[in-house]
Chain A
């Protein structure tokens, strides 16, 4: 077993998480008791929100000392309970092997998630005969994999009756390895498809049926198509508030089919018409079979009209921005990165404006290529996640798109990356601000900027060099491509590219929080308006 000694327990969980997201295999983490566990909690919660399979083994004080406020004691099972799929405290060595088996089984099946196993010190030194069970059965846990045939039949009828259909898919497609079934079904139907932030890559972004990401910073065409569709096919997505906007105006004309392995995801935020509980590839395969066997066809005339409408929305080019030859536009860095890596790199990101630009301008054509903290929105995630992805795929280019705010939360891991030779390209979109918060202060708080400007940033070039890596500072638009090419040519080096970008650039398009999907603001075109009162609550 290869162990990687990280420099901080939060990084351990993010790295294991990045490994799991890139490879599809569960990540494993080992931390000590007390502060080891509390440091890991952020990473555990990150994995939990995005349903990432992970097993965390934590040390605990000896059994007789539990509850005595012993040195480095914390109630690990209690403190992690709200952010794990399940957890265990093993007090008896003879139960250890079975518990570890259960932990991996629970973490990787059904809707995946992190599982913590807390092991007291005396149990770690106790002896027992080793029996690792081949199979495990839990009477209270038996996720539904196959969809209900009757529901699938009803769903197919509704899907084919659509005049203005829309396919909306999320991270569940990637977690369940359902991408090829999704592509087959989507192309069989000829319907438009959008992916959530977590679902990018499940359907090739460069395909003409893909209308871009949806939601708060999604494309105009995807959000308009959502708003106007008459049948919505939701697959492995959870109707998150950043997707739906104002909930009572979400897809007002649509009847909704929802496929998800977790029954509690269905009708949680939005009432659906045809729920199907099951694993995405199984359910989609069944749908494809019904359509093929019965030679069913969508309404091609209605569909052609619908595509004409979507193409009109598309023609607005909602992702266009005004480029500059004096100051580096962050969007152009991501676009150039896409060109230089030929769209093939594994991209991780941190959280903020750069994350949205990465999602918008790097077109992901395959699942597990895009790794970000979508649910919890954890700054500091990107760098250790990139390291984890590099461990999973040492021969692939891995880039971490980050910002000057996020990267400073995890720079100690540059040492780990040196020690284990995991060369990653760090794309720092440095605008000197916590940019997303600055953007909201500009739009919604009358430009009263506060606590978002960094008056003291480190010299990132020297920082990279201090850890034995290559550092580059790029200030001119004309130098962007050359710097990226030079960085990626250094296959076995971690290169920190510090791009000094436009400080005032904003992420567009944008649906202000609490707005509905047809109330988008576009760059250059719209004056920012104050959001509804109920939207302000979400800010």
Chain B
């Protein structure tokens, strides 16, 4: 058995019912599973929400997580996007110091990472970036730690490549 902890991006179609989200969150805390990020929003079908979460675990744990999620009555369908070709995206908003030498440096790095400066003051930038979680991590590593004023991340979401589509 593969005992290495691996990162999994699990995407769920959930009944848009009161309490459905807490059933998922409760499952993770009750069974001691890790949850790194979780994002949830309505879909084009008003009876369904789409929930995407990132978790870590070895093969056996992730197999259990998938089975236990499937057992929840409110879970309609789910896919482990790590097991298939998929695009992962996360949105990050970063407020940084931007005075003196930092001002040009910040703009240059934002450009390199394909970010946009959404708001400018005398002394700050607010930068928007999208990408995989690791790309966003890289950006935060690339800029001066002292310059970071605030970081907001949406949590990862994703979709399978090709013709494969998750629907009820």
Interfacial residues, chain A to chain B (CB-CB below 8 A): 77-78, 81-82, 85-86, 89, 106, 138-141, 262-264, 266-268, 271
What are 12 A-B pairs with beta-carbon distances under 8 A?
Answer: A78-B19, A81-B22, A82-B26, A89-B18, A138-B73, A139-B76, A140-B73, A140-B75, A141-B73, A264-B68, A267-B60, A268-B64
Q: Is B141 an interface residue (CB 8 A)?
A: no
The answer to whether B71 and A264 have CB atoms under 8 Å apart is: yes
Given A78-B19, A139-B168, A264-B68; 7 other pairs, CB 8 A cutoff: A81-B23, A82-B30, A89-B18, A140-B74, A140-B77, A264-B71, A266-B67
With A81-B22, A89-B18 in contact, is A140–B76 under 8 Å at CB?
Answer: yes
* B158 CB to nearest A CB, Å: 21
Chain A contacts for B64, CB-based, 8 A: 264, 268
Q: Is B63 an interface residue (CB 8 A)?
A: yes
Interface string of B62-82 (1 = CB under 8 A from A): 011001101101111100000
Chain A contacts for B75, CB-based, 8 A: 140
Chain B contacts for A140, CB-based, 8 A: 15, 73-77
With A262-B71, A264-B71 in contact, is A78–B22 under 8 Å at CB?
Answer: yes
Whole-angstrom distance between the alpha carbons of A262 and B68 in the complex? 10
Whole-angstrom distance between the alpha carbons of A85 and B23 in the complex? 11
The closest CB in chain B to the CB of A263 belongs to: B67
* B61 CB to nearest A CB, Å: 10
* B33 CB to nearest A CB, Å: 13
* A115 CB to nearest B CB, Å: 9
Interface string of B26-67 (1 = CB under 8 A from A): 100010000000000000000000000000000010011001
* B49 CB to nearest A CB, Å: 12
* A104 CB to nearest B CB, Å: 14
* A422 CB to nearest B CB, Å: 34
Number of A-B contacts (CB under 8 A): 39
Q: Out of A77, A85, A264, which one reaches B67, CB within 8 Å?
A: A264
Q: Is B1 an interface residue (CB 8 A)?
A: yes
Chain B contacts for A267, CB-based, 8 A: 60, 63
The answer to whether A81 and B71 have CB atoms under 8 Å apart is: no
Whole-angstrom distance between the alpha carbons of A267 and B30 in the complex? 19
The closest CB in chain B to the CB of A138 belongs to: B73
The answer to whether B73 and A106 have CB atoms under 8 Å apart is: yes
Chain A contacts for B76, CB-based, 8 A: 139-140
Chain A contacts for B23, CB-based, 8 A: 81
With A140-B75, A264-B68, A264-B71 in contact, is A271–B19 under 8 Å at CB?
Answer: no
Chain B contacts for A86, CB-based, 8 A: 73
The closest CB in chain B to the CB of A85 belongs to: B73
Whole-angstrom distance between the alpha carbons of A263 and B75 in the complex? 15
Whole-angstrom distance between the alpha carbons of A266 and B70 in the complex? 14
Whole-angstrom distance between the alpha carbons of A266 and B60 in the complex? 11
Whole-angstrom distance between the alpha carbons of A296 and B102 in the complex? 80
Chain B contacts for A268, CB-based, 8 A: 64
Q: Among A78, A262, A264, A271, which residue has the most Cβ atoms of chain B within 10 A? A: A264
Chain A contacts for B30, CB-based, 8 A: 82
Q: Out of B19, B60, B63, B168, which one reaches A77, CB within 8 Å?
A: B19
Closest 4 CB pairs of A and B: A264-B67, A140-B76, A86-B73, A263-B67
Chain B contacts for A262, CB-based, 8 A: 71
Whole-angstrom distance between the alpha carbons of A106 and B71 in the complex? 12
Whole-angstrom distance between the alpha carbons of A106 and B23 in the complex? 16
The closest CB in chain B to the CB of A141 belongs to: B73
* A35 CB to nearest B CB, Å: 22
Whole-angstrom distance between the alpha carbons of A140 and B76 in the complex? 4
The closest CB in chain A to the CB of B73 belongs to: A86
* A212 CB to nearest B CB, Å: 31
Chain A contacts for B19, CB-based, 8 A: 77-78, 81, 89
Chain B contacts for A78, CB-based, 8 A: 19, 22
Whole-angstrom distance between the alpha carbons of A264 and B15 in the complex? 21
